[in-house]
Structure 1
Amino acid sequence: MNRIAQFFQNLLFPYDKCPICEEFTDGLCASCKKKLVFLKEEGLLEMKKGMSILAYNEEGKALLMAYKKQGSFYAGNDMVNLLLSAQRDFISSFQLITFAPSSYRSAQNLGFDHGAFMAERLSKEIGVPWRALFRPSKTEQKKLDMESRKDNADQIKLRHDSMEHLKGKRVLIVDDVFTTGSTVGKCVKLLENQGIQPYFLTVFKLI
């Protein structure tokens, strides 16, 4: 099923099953939600660049794959709701939300940029504006080893040469999974070089 057909299916039919186990329920079922492992990130202080909220275990992988491979925007909503339930006050403290970009190839394959969807949903929920700030690399990170991931992340660029209007402001970078940190690390560095105060927040972390 292509992405347009999947979108209209999601729109026309009610969300009545868990994206992980497919039990008939409204969103994540209680059993699968209990299997998600929340990480303890103590003391999010100014010297830290960000955090992840969940371990990337089997249930986490199933949720992410339902979103990115099956095109279930409902699963994406579940991921956003998990972020909000864990860190709503933290997210609300920012003046702008942006996202670590998918590669051109990944966005073409998926039919959408998963990070943009998450940023927009968070924006609607808490009233903080969102904006795309980065130009993506051309190669998908998942196909690369650690060293190649870093080189590929270095291809990410800012969409605009100057971001004077954001200087000194707190900007949150959202992403789905923290693997090596190359992508969000590059995004953080680019914004810091502009005098912006960036932090990242990801749903999952590979541990």
Structure 2
Amino acid sequence: MNLFNLLPFIFPNECLFCGKEKEGSICKKCQTKIFVRGESKTQLNNKLFYLSIYKNNGEKLIEFLKNRKYFSLIPYLIDESLFLLDNEKIDYITSVPSLKFLAYIPEHLEVFSKDLSKKKNIRYLELITKIKRIKSQVTLTIQERNLNPIGAFSLRRDYKNLIKDKRILIIDDVYTTGSTLKECEKLIENNGGEVLSLVYSKAIIY
């Protein structure tokens, strides 16, 4: 593969959202529209930080990262996250495992999480592993989404003692029903850890 063919994905010369040139992957105007930054609660009543609202360009943001691999967006997410997490005590950072993992293509959540850990000088741990195949949440009803991830994840044995009495930041891409994140939260809490979470985008469920 020719490296020059990848340059538009790594260093786009125009805003991916409006097409404005020479302002990077997201122009300043679109940044103010996309990044609304907020705090909420998960199903287990833990802190949940989010960078955008899913219906307000959040869906497009995730599409660019997840399916089109525009990793040039990650520095913008990092900057927004640093602002949100500035006053939070965090001992370790981890991320929700991908539902579809290709070994030769880096996953955006892992890239983002590791970059954030470097910026905050906090150790990144691959705490959670996927132990069974589950369906994509996108295609399921709300009831099916709640059931789909049950029993799908496991905590790595070599880290179980490490997280006791520690505060762990879990990173995921989108929060809809919160069922996937809930399964990961339970694994950490059941082993003595405390949890807070960060997502790129939060859906509003009516």
User: TM-score with structure 2 length normalisation?
Assistant: 0.82
Q: Which runs of 4+ in 1 moved over 6 A?
A: 4-8
2:113 to 102, 116, 119: 119
Report what 1:190 is aligned to.
Answer: 187
Picking from 131, 138, 154, the partner of 2:133 is: 138
Native 8 Å contact 2:169 2:197 kept in 1: yes
Deviation at 1:110, TM superposition (A): 9.5
Inter-CA distance 5–141: structure 2 relative to 1 (3 Å threshold): farther
1:123 Cα offset (Å): 0.8
Residues 96-175 of structure 1: matches in 2 within 5 Å?
Answer: 96-103=92-99, 106-108=100-102, 111-136=105-130, 137-139=132-134, 140-154=136-150, 155-160=152-157, 163-175=160-172
Number of residues of Structure 1 aligned to a counterpart in Structure 2: 197
Structure 1: distance between partners of 2:87 and 2:164: 22
Structure showing the higher strand proportion among its residues: 2
Alpha-carbon shift at residue 98 of structure 1 (Å): 0.2
Q: What does residue 74 of structure 1 align with?
A: 72
Structure 1 gap segments, 5+ residues each: none
Alignment CA distance shift 1:29-1:158 (3 Å): same
- For 1:51 and 1:12, the matched residues in 2 are separated by 27
Tell me if the contact between 1:100 and 1:187 (Cα under 8 Å) persists in the aligned partners.
yes
Q: Indicate how the Cα distance of structure 1 residues 148 and 5 shifts in structure 2: closer, same or farther if over 3 A, else same.
A: farther
Query: Deviation of residue 41 (structure 1)?
Result: 2.9
Given candidates 15, 36, 61, the residue that maps to 2:34 is 36
Report the Cα offset of residue 195 of structure 1.
0.4
- 8 Å CA contact 1:37–1:57 kept in 2: the answer is no
Equivalent pair of 1:6/1:71 in contact (CA under 8 Å): no
User: Aligned with 1:189: secondary structure?
Assistant: helix
Q: Which runs of 5+ in 2 are unaligned?
A: none
Report if the CA contact (8 A) 1:18-1:26 is conserved.
Answer: yes
**What TM-score do the two structures reach when normalised by structure 1?**
0.81
Percent identical residues: 26
Give the one of 196, 199, 202 matched to 1:205. Answer: 202
Say yes or no: does 1:53 pair with 2:51. Answer: yes
* Matched letter for residue 31 of structure 1: K
